[in-house]
Structure formats: C-alpha cells, structure tokens
Structure 1
Amino acid sequence: MPRGGRGSGGRGSAPKVRPVTELARIDIAKALEDFRADPNASELEFPPNVDNHFRAVVHAECKKLGLKSKSHGKGDDRRVRVTKAEAFRPDDAEDLFDLGLGARAAAAMEEYFEKAPQSEAEIRRSVAGSVGDFDGDGEREARVKTKKRSYKGGVEMRGRAIDAGEATRRADALAGRIRSDAALGELQKKRAALPVAKFRDDILNAVRNHQVTLVAGSTGCGKTTQVPQYLLDDAWASGSGAAIVCTQPRRISAMTVSERIANERGESIGQSTVGYQIRLESRVAADCSLLFCTSGVLLRKLTSETSDKTCEALTHIIIDELHERDLFADFLTIILRQVLPKHPHLKLVLMSATMREDLFSNYFGGCPVISVPGFIHPVTEYHLEDILPMVGWGGTHHTAVGAKKSDGPIVNAPTSGSGVDVMREAIMRAFLEDTDESFDWLMQCARESDPQGLSYVNVCHSTGATALMAAAGKGRQMEVSQLLGLGASPAMRSSDGSNAADWAERFGHIELAEALRSVDDEDDHAGSHEQSALLLSNYQLSIDPDEVDIDLIHNLIVWIVRERTVDEKSEGAILVFLPGWDEISKLRDSLSADYNVCRAASILPLHSMVAPAEQRKVFQRPAKGMRKIVLSTNIAETAVTIDDVVFVIDSGRLKEKSYDAYSAVSTLQAAWISQASAKQRRGRAGRVRPGECFRVYSSSRYSSFAEYQLPEMQRSPLEELCLQVRVLAESGAGVVEDGPGSTAGFLARAIEPPVPQATENAVQLLKDIGALTNDERLTRLGRHLGELPLHPRVGKMILYAALFGVLDPILTVACAAAYRPPFIISTDGRRTGDIARAAFSDQAGGGSDQLAVTKAYEAWERVLRDGGRSGERMFLNANSLSPSTLHMIKGMRQQLVQALIQRGIISDLRSASVNSQSGALVRAVLAVGMYPLVGRFLPQCKAPTLATLRGERVRVHAHSVNGKVDVAEISSRRESGEKIATLCCFDELIRGSHAVQVRECTLVAAAAIVFVCAKLTVRPDVPHVDPETGEEIPRPGPPSALLVVDDWLRFRVPLRAVAQITVLRLRLQNAFAMKVEHPQEMLPKDIHESVRCVSRVLADAADELLNRHGGGGVSFARNVGGGDYGGGRGGRGGGRGGRGRGDGRFDGRGGGRGGDRGRGVSNIPQPRR
C-alpha cells in the first residue's frame, strides 16, 4: 500500500480528476462569477482550511474566466488569492527586430521613388503615422451622398392590398382542397386538437384591438405553426389581404416550419401562399402572403433606405422564439418599438415560451399576453442519482456502504493486515498534524481495499477513532464529504462512545456536527436514499465534471432500448442533447459499434453543419420495429419539434461562444445550461404520449443553474450590430440620434442592454478601421461595409483584396470565417483532416490555415467540374472535408460577388482577381483584414506561443498548421545580428477551459503590418554607449532609425528606407480611399504605380519569410490590375514547396523551380534568382 505524499490530483485518482465534491465545485464557480461581476471588487481570497485539490479546482475555474490566481502561504495557512486581469502591456517594448526586407524590395523602392519622389508635405503627413481619413481629403467629412442602392436580399412580398374578391377566392380554394383531400382533412383535425386552437379567438381579438400582442405558449402547443395561419385566414375571411413576415432564429427553423405550414394547407412550398427566405436560398412565389425568414433578413430590410416602404406593405410581423434572445431579434425589438407609432396599421405579434412574459410585455407598454398551455402528457424526470442505479453503475467502493445505523452499525471493514496498520498510522498522523499532506495521505489510504475487496475507509485506530472522526474533529468539510462518498459510517463510535458528529462538536465545528447527525438520524427509507447519494458521490469523484460522460449515456440508451420494449413506449424516439459536434460524433460512433443498438435503431445527428437533406430525416418516422435516436445540440431545444420523441436524455451542457468585453476575448467552452433550457428540453418528451426525461446531472446541480441564459446581446462582440445602428441612422427612419455616444444610447434601449464596455470596444474598432468618424457618423467605407453581410474587419479585407486584385481567394477566406472552415476533425483517431490541411497549406507556401482553406476550395471546385459526384466523394473522404460547408461557402461567395457588383466595387470577379496566384499579396491582404489581431512567435517557448499587440501570451491550437512550427528556426538572426520577428495574424482569440488560444492563423511578413497598422512612429536610433568609457559606439552600416508599430514592435530600418516606407504607406492609404470613394473609376497612374510598388515590397518580404519557414514558392504579382504570374522559388530545404502556375515544383531539398511565366501585360520585371 503506498504511503503519503501530495499528488497532482491525488494518487489513485483518474488522470485530471480532482476528488472535489460537486457542491464544493458549485460554490467555487458561484464565488468566482460573483467576484468577476462586481466592478468594485479587486481581490478574492479563499480560506486556508481547504486541500490542494480544492485549490487546483479554483485555479482551473479562474483560467476559464480569465482571472488570475495564485497560492501563497505555507502549511495550514496556504490559501488561494484571485485577482482580475490588469491592463495589458505589450512585452516587446524593449525588443528590436529586423524588418525582413531583401535587396529586391530596396531596389523596387529606389526605382519607384526615382520616378515619383516624395514631397515635403507627404513627408510631414507620413511622419504623423496614423491611419488617414478614408473619405479622402483629410478634413472633409463623409457627407457627400453617393447614389443609394436598396438592399436586394431583403423581404420581397406583394403589398397588403388585394380586393375582397381575391381574398374570398383564396379562402374558397383552401376549403376546396381540404374537402377533396382526405389526408389534408386529417391534418385539419390534428390542427384543431392542438392546445393553441382553443385560444384562436382570444389571439385574433387581441391582435385586432392592440398593435402589439404577446403569445406565450408552452412547448408543443402549436403556436409557431398555427398563429400565422390564424392571422392569414382571418384576413381572407374579412375580405382583405395579408402580408405576414414571421422571423425565426435559425435557417433550419424557417425552412421546416414553412414547409410544415404549406403541407397543412395542401400547397407546395414557394408555389403559392407560403414561402421562406434565408441566406443563399429563397422559395417565394409572386403571390406569397406568409413569408418565413431569419431575423437577419428582416433586419437588413428595416435598416435600408426602403424600410418605410417595407413597413407600409406589411400587415403583420411575427417574431417567434423571442425567449431565445438572439442578437438580431433583440435588435429588431428596439427598431420596431420605435417605428410602430409611424405605422399604426402594422401589427406586431411576439411569440415566446412561457417564461419572462412580464419582461416582454412591459417593454411594449404592457401589451396583452395570451398564455397557451402545452400538452398535458406527463413527463417523468430522472436525475443522475436515479440514473446510476438504473444502468448498474458500480464505483469501486459503493457496495461497501455501511448498513443500518443503530446501536451497533453493521460495517464491513478489514481488521488486520499491513494495509490496516498503514491506515491506522494515517489516522493518527492526520489528527496530530492536521496538514494538507497528512490528510492527502489519509484520503489515499481510505480509497484502497484489502485483497478481499474490503475498503479501508472504516478501519478503526486502537482508540476506536476512524478517518471520518479525524476529519470531523479538524473541521475538514471536504474530506468529510469525500469519506462519506467512499462509504464511511457516521454511526461508528470510538472507545469513549463518541461518533463523528460528537468529535466535530467537541472541537467547535457545530455546523459540521449537525450535518453529520442529519445523516446519522435517517430512517430505513432515508438509508436507501443515502446509499443513492453515496453512489452519486462516488461517481462524481471518479469523472471529469467538465466532460460529457459518453459511456454513461451509451449505457442509458441501452437500458432504454432494453427496458422500454414491452409497453406503448417501445417505438418512441430518443432525443439526446449534447453540447457539440465532437460529443455527437463520439456517441454516434460508440452506438454504431454496438450491434445490439444499431441493428434496431436509426442513429441521426442533428447539427447546423449537417446538410439540410440529412437534417430533414430526423422528422421522418422510422421503419416499423426500428427506434429513432436523434443526437442533437440545443438546436432541438426550441428551433425544431420532433413529434415522436418519448425519451429525452439531457447532458445539461451546451457549447457556448461568448465574449468577454473587459478582455476583448471570445470564449468557447462547454457550459451548463439554464433552468429554463432544462425545462424546454424536458418538454420535448411526451409529445404524443407520456414521456421520460433523463437528466445526466444531479438535482443539486440543477438547483445551481442560472434561471435563464444570458441574452446574446450581452455575450457577443457588437461590431456588426453597431455598424447596422449607424446604417439605420442614415436610412431616414428617424430612430437613431447623431453624435458621440449615440450608438451606445440606441443599444441601451434594448430589453436587456449590452455591457457598456462591449459597445465602446465595438465603436472604437469601427473608428480604427475607418468605418466611423469620431462623432460616430458613417464614412464611405462604413457605408460599403454596412451593406456586406460580414464582420466589418473582414469587409475591409474584401475591399483591399479588390484593390490588389486578389479577391477570389480572399472571398473564400471571408466566407469560411463567417461560416466555418470546411475541414472535419476525425473522430476515429486518424489525422486525415490535419494532414490534408497541412498539405493544402504547403500548396500556398506553408504556414497558413486560411490559405489552406482557399486551396482546398479550389481543388474541390476542380474535382466537382472534372470528376463528377463520384470523384467528389472520393476527394472529400480523402481530405476530411465537409460537402455541406463547401457548398455553403460557394453560395456565400456568389452572394458576396453580387453585392460587390451591385455596389459598383467590382465589375466582375475575374478582373478583381488577376493577382490571385500571388501568395505574397494574399497574405498581405489577410494581415489587413485581421489587424490588430497579430502576434509574434516567442522562440523561448517550447510550444508555439504568440505575444500579441495587447500583451497577451496565447497558444497556437494543435490543429493549426502552425501548431507544431519550429519557432527557434524561423526566428533566427540575420547576418547583421538583428533578430527576426516571426509574425502571425489570426481572426480571433478564444479562451478555452485551460488557456487563451488561436485556432486558425497565417504567417505574415512584418512589412505587411507596417503598411496597415493604425499607428507608425519614427524614432531615432540611439547609439550604444560603452558602460566603462561613456563613449558612443558607432553602429555598422548605413544610418538608421526605428519604425515603431502601434507602440509595440520596433524595427531598425535604414534611414533612406524609412522615408520611402512611410510615404508609400501614405500613398497606399490614399489609393484605398480613392477606391472606396470612386469604386468604378480606374486609379490615376501615379496612385496605381504606388500600389504596384507596395506589391513588389510585400512579395519580397513574403519570399524572405517563407524561405526561413522552409515553405514553397511565393508567386509575384505580374500586374496590379491585370495579368497572371509565375510560380515562386522553393524554400530553403526541408519543407515542401508550393505549386506555381504551370509546372512549378519543389523537390524538398531547396531545389525548387518556378512555373511558367504568366502572359499578362506588365512592366514589373521578374525577380532575379
């Protein structure tokens, strides 16, 4: 038997499992959340009477919340102090780097400035160093109105006015279809049986007499499918027309609900009355009267110049699932509350689950609330403590629980042997020393068993004292709880007749004594309950509470399939709620490998990344004798209804992406759901018969859940929303004020406003990228960005891509960033996805997750064109690519191209992509779009780690192509002795459970950052002074100065190059401003030449970078605005080279050959080799 000592998790524990009780974990999480939310609190200290496991959990929770924690003190006084993160300070302020420009870049600048020398005025402006006004001339504001174009992707419906005869004809046609179609008639009977049908007249009367009505209906009451039809049929019955728009929070909801309603009316979707419009897909007839769309589609229309016309044409707007509080739905409520008084004919119907009705009603001036109950089928609830005995879970010690506690409790414990002696010694040591180390040893011994399987937990010392008595006497609540979980008996007595409660009371721990007596005084029934509680405690101490127990859920499904086969529930579907795709994949694979399950079950995933055709399968009834098992995220919580579900298994978790406004970091973590969500999930069972809900979390954990989930507006970055607020301000609707702070003032009108810091961050970013003026008015750039369905920073990247002629690949990057990358993480242990990503990255020169996506997309399009469907399937399987994601990216690209053409930014994609093979330019434009999200690799760190502009140290995710980069090799010194700064741009920082990480990133040249940073400062290069003599030591080489990027990175650059770079940067800004102001006009020759010079400089810098990286050929722009390019040269050994146009290859030994030269007309010479 092992002896003593501290451990990093306790010896005998499973890896990464801390033996800390659930109640203690709940208390820790609550204390930290309260501390984080208190703006006046700067420090939180936990008491010293806890062990190292408790402190380890505190440290882990602090990492999740972005808090700092540190243990201090020794022995009994050791405790954890928690503080909030301080203001970030860049930690590169004292480092000095080489800019990484080669001889070709210097020659290009010399050649250019011989023809276009700098003026004195330019030099003065360039030294100022900040990003210029994107409206053109410095002081001129963006007030010159460009030709306005209405948004083409919005709600397009026939006006509300139709004559009485047409309304009657439509109503008669519907009645005729119902009479002639027996199946349709049966559907009407089912409609009439829905709970909401009894409230039809109440709803219609409320809508007639009030402008705003709230329908609060329980899950399954039928409000989503029936209320829109009631409004439509009532309008027709009164001889008038209707133009109804119903918003849904998700694309799949808009599709499935509209299809369901069309089916109930005997129509084909999009052919007559009912239609839907979502991103990239629209099925709307000319005479459509009922349109389903996402909140974003309606929002775009209401923030356009035609918003008044839209409101005039509509008769009803329905916002469904309002309780979900998605970002756009909350934004819609702000707008509609403002515009309704101007359109008294327009009716607003809010539909929500039965929760927080008063909040929504009061927001709209106390509008009437129609409450509709759901189905009355009872749903039986089980929590984790009920489930464990069902599935036969047997922890190591749960069978050794003491029996009935009376005068002489029956306790099975060994009485002799070396293990007993060690346990007795541990009891004595723990009581006498009362240190973490001694109690760690005691707990370790208590978890052991003798050769016959009897636990040592109830072994008695010669005085009759047990481990539980020692822990109780010292007031160690954590150890007491753990010992009870291991089966320690509180009824056992020492030689003086005292039990554990008496020991606690004797030493002054009154509350602990009372708790132990309540356990000891239970009757026989309570004893059974106690055994269940002990089983639960054993289970919780043996698993990682941050992970979903896939094995337990698998066993529970097996139990349901086995036990629920002889009653009316035998064919009921099982719906499993899981946090994300990883858990869905693991459970699907686990069930598919179980013959007893898969032979009689249809296992269907339901996730947003599943193709729509596959998603629809979950609504179909399975073949007779088969049971349907649906593995879903929270999409099935409210967005869709699966009628035949009888059993719900709720993991209690969801994968939630949130935003920390105070650290400006996104978080992506599995979090506990709210009580409201748990009730919604339970309500999905028993739609057609009595159901059962299995909650794979304890009743104590449920009690700790927040009552409601935070609204999305309080947990999301707000740049897109703030930009739409400014677009709305210029739409003429008159609902947004002007001036500084007006954006925050408008969002403060929300039902539950965002954190002020989040709005400040968003407005500041929009100012930094030139989308807003200082008084929060839209610039011309801001107007363009407001019409693109992208994050403003990504929109700016698109415009730069059009300027440099690299639009095609940047479109792919932008769409993948807005949706998701197409690579699938393998769940079978293979690394095909990572290998494919790395191979595609190598084709683009290496070191880029974003460019790997572009190469994968290009290859897929070629296979689709040349290889057909069978070739596509082979290609997708071989490279772990998602077909649904690739098709979505393709559709988004087409939508963006049309938007750019409509805005006059490009004439066609081909002409805006003439330099798309120039990896250097593509990387530079990526830096534009992602800046200031840039970091420098730290060569001193073993794992790839970045130091960011804001001072964070962040890890590169293992799945990134840069996750295993040799930082020391690519961060070497030049011959001059200057260090090389290896930089990386990324699209967001994500705080996971353990650290802040970058998931997708791209190596970029430092020169690209110099040209696009917000502030570039020129400082003197102070000579080195001999500390002994005090004399200045001349620096070798030409005179130099320092270029400082945003008070962060410092580069030593020859003085002549400093003047050239700063003026080139200014001219590039002017070129971009002119392109934004007059997108359809050709750039003047002098401005065009400056862009070409910048292209050559960036190409050389990228070539230098990728030579160090060992990657393949960088191709060079043959012409900015027209032409093709050749392949680049191979890297300096080791890496695989990229493919140039034509026959460029690289043999992996540094012997790469360029591809064929392009045929475009160009005055840029091919770079010398």
Structure 2
Amino acid sequence: DDIVYVIDTGVRKERSYDPTSGSSLDTKMVSKANAIQRRGRAGRVQEGLVIHLFPSYKFEGFEAFPTPQMLTSSMEEVVLQSKVIHGGSNSEIFSMLTTSMAAPKTEAVEAAVSLLKGMSCLTRGGELTVLGRATAAIPVQPNVAKFLLCAAAFRCIKPAACIAAFLSIKSPFQQGVSTAEKSGSKGPTGKEYFNKGFASDHLTNLQAYVEWRREAARGRGDEFCDEQGLSPETLDMAYMMVQQFVSFMVDAGYDGPDVSDGDYGEVDPVKKGSDEDALVRAAMCWGFHPNACVLYKGNRSPYWYLETNEEVSAFRGSANADYEMRGQDGDEWMVFSDAMKMGRFNSIMDSSLVFSPFILLFANALIIDDKKGEIRFDRWYAYVEKGPWQQELIALRKTLSPAFKDAIESRDLASFPKDLAQRVASFCKQRPITLKGVEAVSRSIDEEITNGPARAHLSMYEWPEDLGADDDDEEGEA
C-alpha cells in the first residue's frame, strides 16, 4: 500500500531570509527537481498517476534546482559552528563562508554576528564566549540552545525540552477540521482547548504534548490526535527529541527533581502561575533575548512594538492572536522565538506573555537614574517610581550572571544555586513594575555609556572569551 495518485499544483511555500527585512514566507513556483520528485511519489511500489496543474512549456522555464538553503536561511548557527570548529577572526569566517559553493551574502553573515553578540555568544570583538561554545554543543538554533541551558540552570528542563522540540520541528497542530468538530462538538478544540489561559504558544504546545502522552498510555493516542487536530507524527518525533535534550542536560550535570524517575520523555503539566511557570518563561526571556515586544493599549486590540519601533502582530494561528490587555502600557510584553514577514505584515510566530519584571531582570544592559526617575534597559526608555523592587533587581542581576557562568564553565549545571532560581521565580511573579511612557530608542544604553562615572552604575551581562579546554582537562577526558 502506497501513494498511487499525486496532484502537483506547481507551487511551494519557501521560507527565505533577507538580512535587511528578516525572514519571510513566500509562495514560489517549484523547480524542475521538485516536480520530478513529486512525480516519483506516485510510482514507488506500483504504477501510478501524477497530474501536474501547469503546462509542459511552463515546466521548461522552471529553475533546475531549489535555491540552496544556505542562501535562504539566517546564518547564526553556521557562524557559531564555524567559530567553534575553525576559530579565527571574523574576517576569516567571512572569507570561508563567502567563498563556498553557495556563498551567502556578506550582509547575512554580518547580521548573524551582530545577533550572536546580542546573545552573548560572541564578545564585542567577535570572539567566541564560554556561553557560545556551550550553545554550539546543542544541535539546534542558538537561541533555542541558550533557552535550554537557562532552563536547566532554573531546574525546569523537561517542559523546556518539550518546547524546544516543537521549535526545532514544527507545531503539533494541523490545519483542517478535527473529528470533534466534524461530529458537531461545541467545545474548544486544537490550540483553543490546550491554551487554558496561559497566553503562550510555547506552553500550549507543551500542554498538548502532556495530554497526548497521557492518552497514548491508555492506548488511544491516535484517536486523541484526530479529536484535537494534532499530528501524531510530529508528536512522536517530539517525544524522541525531548528524551535527547533531557539526556544531554543530565550528562551536563542537571539534577532537577523532574528527572529522578529516569523517564526522560514523560513531562508533567505546568500549573499556571506556579514557580515552574515563571521559571520556564524566565528561561525564554533570557534565551530568546532580544526577541521581545511591548504591548500598548489600542481601541480593539493591543499594539505590539519591537525595540526597532516596528509594529508587529501575532500570526493568525497563534494562541495570542486575540489576546486582550489587562494592564497598563509597559506592564505586558510578549517574548517570542521567531518572527516572519507574511506579505506586508511582520508576524510573531510563537509568543508567550511575560510582565515587566521578567524584561528588566533579563535585559542585557540596565541603568536606573533615581534623581530623574528614569530607567534605561537595552533599547528601551521609561519613567519609574522608586521602590523595594530596585534593590532586589540589581542584587539579582549581580548574582545571576556569575552563577550561570560558573555552571557553564564548570560543565556542572547542578552548581547553579537552587535558592537563586527560587529568587528569580519570586521576583518575576511580583506585580508588574510600572514603566510609564515606555518607548524604544535608537541605541542600546551600553552603546551610549562606554566610559565615565556612569559606566560604574550600568548593570550588564557580559561573558568572557572562551579559551578552549585546558590541556589537563583534555588529558583527563582521554
């Protein structure tokens, strides 16, 4: 039994990347190689029939092959791996990549270097950091890898591994009508069913995975997928990836209570408003930085703005597509793992709601001017009222980065203090810190304050250059 009939529309959806406008999802004609491959699916085990919905003369005008992925993808993972494998200066990396058979644009490589610097995977001078080497060791996009490392330090690796699995594959939700909808059920299905007030695509995917595993244990996993519009193939692949991610972190010293049973693929549900909920979102803020947008109240729905002062919105299939603000401007933010331009609109793909304490704690650079009642964090500016939160914020920022560095450098995630993770959860769960008149500015505060007395008051997360493994360590491992 196999496919016998194939209908080829002659078009495909292709994700492309431009260093100036970012990623976009474009509709393009297939290549000759694509059309031949589609035709081949109809005759693998027996004679079949393929219907191409385009004339033969149109086929002759198609490109021979699809555009190489190196020319249509962002380059941060390639640049980071090149730094780890080859070392060398940025100019040497540029030379190596731009002289390859499918040479990317110089602007794409420069954009990747800039992003990796913002993630602290590279130093200001473009050298590999300790965090960069640790991030490169996990075979996923750098921001997803950093998210996993942060979650491991915060002792919430299982839910994070599940979120990372879907970010590395695709959403488990399928387009189409579920069996529950076909039967006339009036209850929620799909993302609406699993969202449950989390205001998070990431946690919605997690809840779907948890309930699927529960139903699979009862022998009705496929039936459950049909009812809720889920892809069993995607969920099966996610199950394998969750085990791999968790196993990787356990080998790196992870000692969270969620792995004590040794079953790395089973994940417990995250309770809304719990410490675990706060820590998973905290790991997203730190791992996906600087991917966050502020919410401003609108007449019908909130306006979402990036630090570039560009308005964006959730894509229509998002759990947050119809999100309604409850707080003031600057209280609520959306942290996201990916954005894509669809036609004229820049859409946030997977987003999660966080509040101002999260954003202030994990901003790369921050300074507070008590006399003026002003706060600057990364490329944002706002007015704030003095309060006890300031002392705890600065104290946490002073402690958090060194503790995380020590855990990464020692390759022992268990060395990250559990009480510090608890303090992070408590700080993030407090009432939103009011950021009056919050707006994006043209330059980050660390770019403006490069020296002078004000520099001493600047709170920054900086990582040291990676010097490679010590000879003694290498001999010991051998």
- Relative to the length of structure 1, the TM-score reads 0.33
Distance 1:629 1:984, change over 3 A: same
In the other structure, the counterpart of 2:376 is 1044
Amino acid at match of 2:322: K
Q: Which runs of 5+ in 2 are unaligned?
A: 435-478
Ranges in structure 1 where 5+ consecutive residues have no aligned partner: 1-615, 619-627, 631-648, 730-736, 973-978, 1023-1040, 1105-1169
Q: 2-side partners of 1:839 and 1:707: how far apart?
A: 44
Partners in 2 of 1:711 and 1:928 — Cα distance? Answer: 32
- Say whether residues 1:950 and 2:327 are aligned partners: no
Is 1:669 the counterpart of 2:26? The answer is: yes
Whole-angstrom CA distance in 1 between matches of 2:135 and 2:254: 11
Q: 5 Å matches for 1:410-449?
A: none
Compared CA separation, residues 770 and 914, structure 1 to 2 (3 A): farther
Matches within 5 A, 1:267-416: none
Query: Residue 361 of structure 2 aligns with which residue?
Result: 1011
Task: Give how far 1:958 is off.
Answer: 2.3
Report the Cα distance in structure 2 between the residues aligned to 1:690 and 1:794, rounded to whole angstroms: 44
Considering only CA atoms, is the larger Rg found in Structure 1 or Structure 2?
1
Give 1:720-799 correspondences, 5 Å limit. 720-729=77-86, 738-799=88-149
* Counterpart-to-counterpart distance in 2, 1:756 and 1:805: 39
Give the SS at the match of 2:384: strand
Contact 2:148 2:160 (8 Å CA) reproduced: yes
Counterpart of 1:629 in structure 2 is 5
1:379 alignment counterpart: none
| 1:584-621, Cα deviation, whole Å (9 max, x unpaired) | xxxxxxxxxxxxxxxxxxxxxxxxxxxxxxxx833xxx
Q: Which residue number in structure 2 is paired with residue 494 of structure 1?
A: none
Match of 1:849 in 2: 201
Cα pair 2:16 2:72 within 8 Å, conserved = yes
Q: Note the C-alpha offset of 1:808.
A: 1.2
Superposition deviation, residue 689 in structure 1: 12
Q: How does 1:860-879 map to 2 (within 5 A)?
A: 860-865=212-217, 867-868=218-219, 871-879=220-228
Report the secondary structure of 1:671's partner residue: strand
> Is contact 2:252–2:412 with CA below 8 Å preserved after alignment?
no
Letter in 2 for 1:1010: L
- CA distance in 1 between partners of 2:24 and 2:41 (Å): 29
Q: TM-score, normalised by structure 2?
A: 0.77
> Which one scores higher on RCO, CA 8 angstroms, separation ≥ 6?
2
Alignment of 1:645-1044 (within 5 A): 649-663=7-21, 665-675=22-32, 677-678=34-35, 695-697=52-54, 705-706=62-63, 708-729=65-86, 738-827=88-177, 830=181, 835-842=189-196, 845-865=197-217, 867-868=218-219, 871-906=220-255, 909-910=258-259, 917=271, 918-940=276-298, 942-943=300-301, 945-967=303-325, 970-972=326-328, 979-1019=329-369, 1022=372, 1041-1044=373-376
Amino acid at match of 2:406: M
Q: Specify the alignment match of 1:1095 in structure 2.
A: 425
For the residue of structure 1 that corresponds to 2:210, the secondary structure is helix
Q: Structure 2 matches for 1:132-211, cutoff 5 A? A: none
Distance (whole Å) between structure 2 residues aligned to residue 1053 and residue 1103 of structure 1: 9
Q: Structure 1 residue 971: deviation in Å?
A: 3.7
> 2:294 & 2:8 partners in 1: Cα distance?
43
Question: Offset of 1:989 from its aligned partner?
Answer: 1.0
The answer as to whether partners of 2:16 and 2:23 remain within 8 angstroms in 1 is yes
CA 1000–617 in structure 1, closer or farther in 2 if over 3 Å, else same: same
Conserved? CA contact 1:823–1:837, under 8 Å: yes
Contact 1:806 1:916 in 2 (8 A): no
Is 1:806–1:915's contact at 8 Å kept on the other side of the alignment? no
CA displacement, residues 204-249 of structure 1 (integer Å, 9 cap, x when unaligned): xxxxxxxxxxxxxxxxxxxxxxxxxxxxxxxxxxxxxxxxxxxxxx
Match of 1:1069 in 2: 401
CA distance in 2, matches of 1:910, 1:1058: 35
Counterpart-to-counterpart distance in 1, 2:216 and 2:383: 47
Letter in 2 for 1:876: C
Please list the CA deviations of residues 686-729 of structure 1 after superposition, one character each: whole Å capped at 9, or x if unmatched: 99999987542357765764554321101101122122212212
How far is the alpha carbon of 1:947 from its aligned partner? Answer: 0.9
Instruction: Provide, for residues 939-974 of structure 1, a one-character-per-residue CA deviation record: whole Å limited to 9, x for no partner.
Output: 22645541112222112122222111223xx144xx
Q: Percent identity?
A: 27
Displacement of 1:819 after TM fit? 0.6
Task: Please state how far the C-alpha of 1:1043 moved relative to its aligned partner.
Answer: 2.0
**Gap change, CA 1:695 and 1:1055, over 3 Å in 2:** same
Give the aligned partner of residue 490 of structure 1.
none
CA 1050–834 in structure 1, closer or farther in 2 if over 3 Å, else same: farther
Matched AA of 1:825: Q
C-alpha deviations, 1:538-593, integer Å up to 9, x for none?
Answer: xxxxxxxxxxxxxxxxxxxxxxxxxxxxxxxxxxxxxxxxxxxxxxxxxxxxxxxx
The CA distance in 2 between the partners of 1:744 and 1:933, in whole Å, is 25
* 8 Å CA contact 1:944, 1:963 repeated in 2: no
| 1:429-508 pair list within 5 angstroms | none
Residue aligned with 1:1100, SS: coil
Amino acid at match of 2:100: A
> For each residue in 1:737-776, what CA deviation from the matched residue of structure 2 results, as whole angstroms up to 9, or x when unmatched?
5123332222123102101111112222222222223444
Compared with structure 1, are the counterparts of its residues 1088 and 893 closer, same or farther at alpha carbon in structure 2 (3 Å cutoff)?
closer
Aligned equivalents of 1:744 and 1:1101: distance in 2? 46
- Cα distance in 2 between the residues matched to 1:905 and 1:828: 39
Amino acid at match of 1:949: E
Q: Could you say what secondary structure the match of 1:1054 adopts? A: coil
Deviation at residue 677 of structure 1 after TM alignment: 4.2
Deviations 1:643-669 (A, max 9, x none): xxxxxx532201111112212x22123
Q: Hey, what does 1:166 align to over in structure 2? A: none
CA RMSD of aligned residues (A): 3.5
Contact 1:906/1:1080 (CA < 8 Å) preserved in 2? no
Shift of 1:826: 2.1
Paired residue type of 2:374: L
The CA deviation string for residues 386-443 of structure 1, in whole angstroms up to 9 with x for no partner, is xxxxxxxxxxxxxxxxxxxxxxxxxxxxxxxxxxxxxxxxxxxxxxxxxxxxxxxxxx
Q: Say which SS state the counterpart of residue 90 (structure 2) adopts.
A: coil
Q: Residue 1059 of structure 1: CA displacement?
A: 4.1
Q: Structure 1 residue 1079: deviation in Å?
A: 3.8
Asked whether the equivalents of residues 1071 and 1091 of structure 1 are also in contact (C-alpha less than 8 Å), the reply is no
Q: Which amino acid aligns with 2:338?
A: E
Relative to 1, partners in 2 of residues 1:681 and 1:798: Cα closer, same or farther, differing over 3 Å? Answer: closer
Mapped contact 2:254–2:414 kept (Cα < 8 A): no
Name the CA shift for 1:916/1:1075 in 2 (closer, same or farther; >3 Å). farther
Shift of 1:891: 0.3
Deviation digits for residues 814-841 of structure 1, max 9, x if unmatched?
Answer: 0010011212222479498973423322
Distance 1:1066 1:914, change over 3 A: farther
Task: Check whether the contact 2:9–2:53 (CA below 8 A) recurs between aligned residues.
Answer: yes
Q: Shift of residue 1094 of structure 1?
A: 2.2
